[in-house]
Structure 1
Amino acid sequence: MSHLERQDDILSILSKEKKISVEKLSKLLYVSEATIRRDLAHMDNLGLLRRTYGGAMMAKNTAHESAFAMREAENIGAKKAMCGLAIREVNDHDVIYMDSSSTILSMIPLLQRFKQITVITHGIRTALMLSHLENVEVYISGGKVGNFSNSILGSSAIEFYNHINADVTFLSCSGFNINGDITDNNIDHASLKRKMIENSKRVVLLVDNSKFGKTFMTSSFKLSDVDVLVTDKIPPQEFIDLITSLGCKLLYA
């Protein structure tokens, strides 16, 4: 198990336990307590959790829990299952776009199996995690940092994508409705996703079952823009019919 996978597991455990000791994490993950302490120190510096005497707890500030850290800790099992399928769309030496979603983070440890990969992203934590992989060259966009997010947004970030062409793009979303609309809550995120799609040969969308049938404020793109849709369980039949009618490849765990 890599340190990235182990840290994902720590977040998953904390999402259920809320607070846990170093000793218990060591037993659950079959590593030394010294290793767990190093992981917790690193994750505390990133704001993903709070170290406590002898352990850790979910990150909080005076106003609310860290929004991205909480999203990252949610549905870890489903995210890992989807990423395990999505990674099949990667080849050695590919140039990859990765969005800033918490879903896509679970794909990062899986990239270690490939020969030299180049990743372009506007995700801050995404880029940081990728920087620990020796076989990955990472580029991150410039621009405005979105509050309580993992994202660099705005016109500078969009312009950055104008200059690089990708073999494959990996995206997630907030909702996917029966009209084939892929929707989100943020206009800036939607604009970035459209630019990524425009400059990529293939598009892979990862969307868990809870997002089917939901529509949010902004239509980011259409299902017709997607080459492969990956989800965590068999979709409702009406969505299967829609996906297959558009020639989109469907993968589910």
Structure 2
Amino acid sequence: MNFQQRKHLIVQTVEERGSVEVSELAELLHTSEMTVRRDLIQLAASGLVYRTRGGAMKVSLATDKHRFVNKTAVNPERKDYICQLAAQEIQEGDVIFMDCGSTVFRLCPFIRNKRITVITNSLPIVAELMSSEVAVNLVGGEVDKERQAVHGLIAEEHLARYRANRAFMGVDGISLAHGLSANSEKEASITMAIARQTEKVYLLCDSSKLETNKYLYFAPLSLFDVLITDNEANPAVVAAYRQAGITLIN
């Protein structure tokens, strides 16, 4: 496959998925990761993709990558698959925490007919569940307009007043070597606050985030009890996580 053919497939894949890892592109193109990296350098120089630490993303997402509407558009099929699995873990009468992650948001359609209570700092989740069977408890505090979520000291104090049976949280990066990482201190502090008040913590993480490291390392893998990912996860990576003692559902 020549460069022009690879270029077409790379750009098409990035446009469809929002972001993609070098390893995924190498498998798709039946070529080496070194070749993929060289291709991405050329495509980034032409403004066709945005280079990330481990791959590439759509330019439109990279220029405003933290906006909630953009994050929900990345890997939607994987996120829905994960949320279907997560919904099966929720029992009638449960009190659950849901953070402001884009994957966690996609859990809403699968729980709207359950008689449960949701405590959340996510404005889109509140809006989505207002006309459902779910009782909603909105965390108070300062609103981050881009993330459409409530953060800050008051939000953490609010969370500390409640206990939940389960928490469903997202993460920006996870690796066996370094644990959990985030793109900002705000999101990391809310994640920690939720985990402290929960009997069982579920991490909802699409496979593109496995073995990736972001700006801020904030917690060891012991923070969560169950990792739920999608069925496109690399089998070798899945096996390594399970061998490390992590309960993984996919």
TM-score w.r.t. length of structure 2: 0.70
Whether the 8 Å contact between 1:180 and 1:224 is mirrored in structure 2 is no
Amino acid at match of 1:240: A
Match among 196, 199, 214 for residue 198 of structure 1: 196
Answer yes or no: is 1:162 the counterpart of 2:160: yes
Tell me the equivalent position of 2:96: 96
**How far is 1:66 from its partner?**
8.5
Whether the 8 Å contact between 1:178 and 1:238 is mirrored in structure 2 is no
Distance 1:64 1:194, change over 3 A: closer
Amino acid at match of 1:120: I
Match among 204, 210, 224 for residue 208 of structure 2: 210
**How far is 1:94 from its partner?**
0.2
Tell me the equivalent position of 1:68: 68
Amino acid at match of 1:235: N
- The alignment partner of 1:170 has SS state of strand
Answer yes or no: is 1:140 the counterpart of 2:116: no
Whether the 8 Å contact between 2:67 and 2:146 is mirrored in structure 1 is yes
CA distance in 2 between counterparts of 1:174 and 1:220 reads 11
Tell me the equivalent position of 1:108: 108
**How far is 1:166 from its partner?**
0.4
Amino acid at match of 2:116: I
Amino acid at match of 1:129: E
Q: Deviations over 1:133-180 (max 9, x none)?
A: 1x2110111111114112111000000110000000001111111225
Gaps of 5+ in 1: 1-14, 17-59
Distance 1:245 1:66, change over 3 A: closer
Amino acid at match of 2:130: S
Match among 165, 174, 184 for residue 182 of structure 2: 184
Q: Deviations over 1:60-91 (max 9, x none)?
A: 9xx96982111112211111000011111100
Tell me the equivalent position of 2:244: 245
- The alignment partner of 2:131 has SS state of coil
TM-score w.r.t. length of structure 1: 0.69
Gaps of 5+ in 2: 1-14, 17-59
Amino acid at match of 1:119: V
Distance 1:107 1:138, change over 3 A: same
Tell me the equivalent position of 1:121: 120
- The alignment partner of 1:142 has SS state of coil
For structure 1, which segment, 192-201 or 146-155, has the greater mean C-alpha deviation from structure 2 after superposition? 146-155
Number of matched pairs = 190
**How far is 1:242 from its partner?**
3.1
Amino acid at match of 1:245: A
Tell me the equivalent position of 1:82: 82
- The alignment partner of 2:112 has SS state of helix
**How far is 1:222 from its partner?**
2.2
CA distance in 2 between counterparts of 1:191 and 1:94 reads 24
Whether the 8 Å contact between 2:98 and 2:120 is mirrored in structure 1 is yes
Whether the 8 Å contact between 2:176 and 2:221 is mirrored in structure 1 is no
Answer yes or no: is 1:175 the counterpart of 2:179: no
- The alignment partner of 1:74 has SS state of coil
Whether the 8 Å contact between 2:202 and 2:225 is mirrored in structure 1 is yes
Amino acid at match of 1:212: L
CA distance in 1 between counterparts of 2:235 and 2:144 reads 34
- The alignment partner of 1:84 has SS state of helix
Amino acid at match of 1:167: N
CA distance in 2 between counterparts of 1:64 and 1:197 reads 28
Question: Matched residues, percent identical?
Answer: 27
Amino acid at match of 1:99: D
